[in-house]
Amino acid sequence: MKRELGLRDVVFFTISGILGTRWLSASAHAGPGAVTLWFLAAVLFLVPCAWAMAVLSRKYPQQGGLYVWTRNDFGDWHGFLCFWLYWTSISLWFPNAVMAYSSMAVYALGPDYQHLASDRAYVVIASLLLIWVSLGSHLVGLKYGKWTQALGFVGSYGVGAMLLLIAGAVWMRDGQPATPMHFVPEFNFETINFWAQISYALTGLEMAPIIGEEIHDPERVLPKSAWIATFACAGYYSLATAALLVLMRPEQVNVLYGLAEGGHLAGIKLDLHWLGPVFAICILMGALGQFGALGSSAARLPYVVGADKYFPAAFAKLHPRWGTPHVSILTLAGIASVALVLVQFGESIRAAYSLLVDLMVLTTFVPFLYIFLSSWKAGNRVSAVSGIAVSILAMACSLVPPADTPNVLLFEVKLIGGALLLTAAARWMFTSRS
C-alpha cells in the first residue's frame, strides 16, 4: 500500500473519527454534570488509550493495529476474536449512525423541513448516500479519501465553534445561562446509562494504527497524533456540551435533535436565520468524516486477516489500479446498506436492531480489553489498569436495560446470548480455516 498520510492527515483522520456531534445532545440532556463526566472519561479512558497507542504503534508499526497487537501478544485465536468483534461492531454501527445524522441535519434546517426527519424515504435515501459517498471516496485510496476526513474535521469543529460563539452572545444578551452551571454529576440510573455512551463516544484512537503502513514515519506520527487528538476531543466534548446548556435547559434538550434545536433557537434569539442551514451543512460534513475514518480503517482489518488466511482470500486482494482493499470496503458498505434497508420493515425487525445496537456497545469494549492488556505487557501498568476498569464498567453499564424494557430477563438473555453467538461464530470461522 502507498504511504499517503502525514501528521496533519492522521490528526484529521483521528479527530474526525472520534468526534460525533450527535453525542452533544445526549450529554446536554444529562445536565451540567456531563461536563465533569467527559473530563473523567478523558482522564480515565482516553488518556490510557493514547498511552497504549503510542507504545504499541512503535512496537508494531505494521498494518493491522489492534489485530496485530493482540495476535502477537496473545496468539492467533485472540487476534481473530479481537478483529471479529471490532469489525462486526462497526458494521452494526453504520446504519444507526447514518440514520441519526440524516435526521439531525434536516432537523437543523428549521420547522419547514423538520417533518423530513421522520420521513422514511428521505432518511433511507440520505443515509445510503452518506454510506456510499464516505466509503466510496476511499475506494480510490487515501490520497483522495483523506479529504473526507479533512471535511469532517472542519464540520465538527465548525459546529463547536459556532456553539461557543452563539452561547457567549446569548449569555451576554440575557445576563445568565439557561442552565445553572452545577458540574457535580447526579449519580442515578440515567448517569449510569450515560457513562457507557460517553466511553463509547471516546473510542477511535485505535483507528489510525490500523492503517500504519499507509502513514509516513508511523513510529513518530502515530504517538504524536494520538496525544493531539486526545486533548482536542476531550476539550471539544466538554466545551460544546457546556455551550449547548447555555442555550437550553437539560429537560428541553431532545436526545436526538437537541443540537439542531439549540442552533435554531440561537438563530431566532440573535436574528441569524442562516444559522440553521450552516449547522446542517457542518453536521453532514462531520458525519462524512466520521464514516470515512471508521469505514476505511475497519476495511483494512479483513485485508490483514485475509493475508493471514483466517478470512476468505478475496479480502486480501488489492485493487490493481488503486491499491486499496476494495473487496473489504464494498463488503462493509454492502452490509451497512442491507442492514439499513432491513430495519425499515416492521417493528419486530426494528426492535431486533435496537438489541443489536446494545450488543454493538457491549462487544466494542472487548477489543479494548485486549488493547489495554497489550499495553500492560508493554509496561504501561497504571494507564492499562485504568483503561481496563473503564472498559469493564462500560460493558456492565451497557447491560442495563432501557427504562421502558417490558421483560428485563429476556433482554439480558438476548444480549448476553448474542455476544456468545458472535464469539461462537468467530471460533467456528477460525477453526475452519486453521
Give the mean model confidence (pLDDT) for residues 240-244: 92
396 phi/psi in degrees, rounded to 5: -65, -40
> What is the maximum alpha-carbon separation in the chain?
68
CA-to-CA dists, residue 325 to 41, 208, 298, 302, 394, angstroms: 34, 16, 11, 9, 32
pTM over 0.85: yes
List pLDDT tens digits, range 96-153.
Answer: 888 888 888 888 787 788 788 878 888 889 889 988 988 888 888 888 888 888 999 9
Describe the chain by its helix, strand, coil percentages, rounded to 5.
75, 0, 20
Q: What is the spatial distance between Cα 61 and Cα 69, in angstroms, rounded to a whole number?
A: 10
List pLDDT tens digits, range 325-384.
Answer: 889 989 988 988 888 887 777 655 555 556 666 777 788 899 999 999 999 999 899 999
List pLDDT tens digits, range 259-296.
Answer: 888 887 787 778 887 888 888 888 889 988 898 888 88
Lowest mean pLDDT among 85-89, 182-186, 276-280: 182-186
Lowest mean pLDDT among 38-42, 60-64, 209-213: 60-64
Of residues 157 and 143, the one with the higher pLDDT is 157
- In 3D space, the residue among 31, 321, 290 whose CA is nearest the CA of residue 186 turns out to be 31
Query: Could you give the percent of the chain with pLDDT greater than 90?
Result: 31
Query: And the C-alpha cell for 189?
Result: 440510573
Average pLDDT value over all residues in the chain? 86
Name every residue whose Cβ is closer than 8 Å to that of residue 393 and which is 6 or more positions away in sequence: 195, 199
Of residues 78 and 394, the one with the higher pLDDT is 78
Can you give the pLDDT at residue 427?
93
Residue type, 101: Y
Q: How long, in residues, is the chain?
A: 434
Task: Label residue 256 exposed, middle or buried (CB < 10 Å: 0-12, 13-18, 19+).
Answer: middle
Of residues 422 and 401, the one with the higher pLDDT is 422
Can you give the pLDDT at residue 140?
82
Q: Does domain 7-345 have CATH number 1.10.3720.10?
A: no
Residue type, 71: R
Collapsed DSSP state (helix, strand, coil) of residue 5: strand
**Other C-beta atoms lying within 10 Å of the C-beta of residue 352:** 14
For the chain, the domains span: 7-345
First to last CA, the chain: 26
Whose grid coordinates read 440514520?
99
